[in-house]
Amino acid sequence: MKCRGIIYLGISVLFAGCDPFEYHPYDTRLDKRYKNINAKNIERILASDKNADTVRFVFMGDTQRWYDETEDFVKDVNRRNEVDFVIHGGDISDFGMKKEFCWVHDIMNKLKVPYIALIGNHDHLGTGGEIYEAMYGELNFSFIYSGIKFLCLNTNALEFDYATPVPDFDFLKQQLRDTLSYKQTIATMHAEPGDVVFNNNVKDVFHEYLKRFKNLKFCVHAHAHRLMEDDIFGDGVIYYGSDAMGHRNYLLFTVTKENYECEVVYF
């Protein structure tokens, strides 16, 4: 018994509490602290909602293999006091491996404000999609903060076959049923309409559906690894593209009842 105790102690000291064993890079065994992150953090976001006139949130791009840069990003956002929450635009991982998701969460978890993450096309590699679902939750979700409905949509159609609808119009229809509890809408996604990852056969329909939501302010996406600002459908609804972490910048949105501002912040 004593001997076993010493061995356990030795192993736990060596690894400072982490699990030293790995069954496979694509195994889906997750510690409790890595589960249901979006649900837990949305709860925190809603709890902090003071129904203020001004909402400030950060939309960040792909983290993939840019751990150092993501650490600097977190430090930079933590220096600001006015940010309500952060949205990760997807491509959390580069190869869909469990450790990558965990490494990114370990860094992002140091943010003073809650963060939520969308799924990116890289996050589907191997069992990445299953890992995302276990870690973050549903691929399509929404929440309402200070009267703004945030739609968080899976647009990575290239990673699925026709058995899974991407984008999911049923989800959008169901979301459209609620007409009372919000006043404005912001749509967020990983891949933007027109990109090879998007199902471009339905991009116009997708956009029309988004416009059915109350007062669609703008859409924002990640994926392209460059800053973008496009009126893709020529109707004044702007799709903003957030750059990758590797290029050391992010988007800071300030939304008021009447207006909004998009600022590029370099760090």
Q: What are the residues binding other proteins (CB under 8 A)?
A: 11, 15, 20-30, 35, 65-68, 70-71, 94-97, 99-100, 103, 107, 122, 125-127, 129-131, 134, 158, 196
- Residue 84 vs 192, nearer CB to other proteins: 192
Q: How far is the CB of 133 from other proteins (least distance, A)?
A: 8
Q: How far is the CB of 132 from other proteins (least distance, A)?
A: 11
- Residue 22 vs 235, nearer CB to other proteins: 22
In DSSP notation, 104-161 reads HHHHHTT-SS-EEE---GGGGTTTHHHHHHHHT--SSEEEEETTEEEEEE---GGGS-
- CB 62 within 8 Å of CB 245: yes
- Residue 5 vs 234, nearer CB to other proteins: 5
Nearest Cα to 114, choosing from 45, 55, 48, 60?
45
- Residue 15 vs 54, nearer CB to other proteins: 15
Q: How far is the CB of 239 from other proteins (least distance, A)?
A: 21
Q: How far is the CB of 71 from other proteins (least distance, A)?
A: 6
Using CA atoms, how far residue 245 sits from 60, 191, 195, 222, 230, in Å, is 7, 16, 20, 10, 20
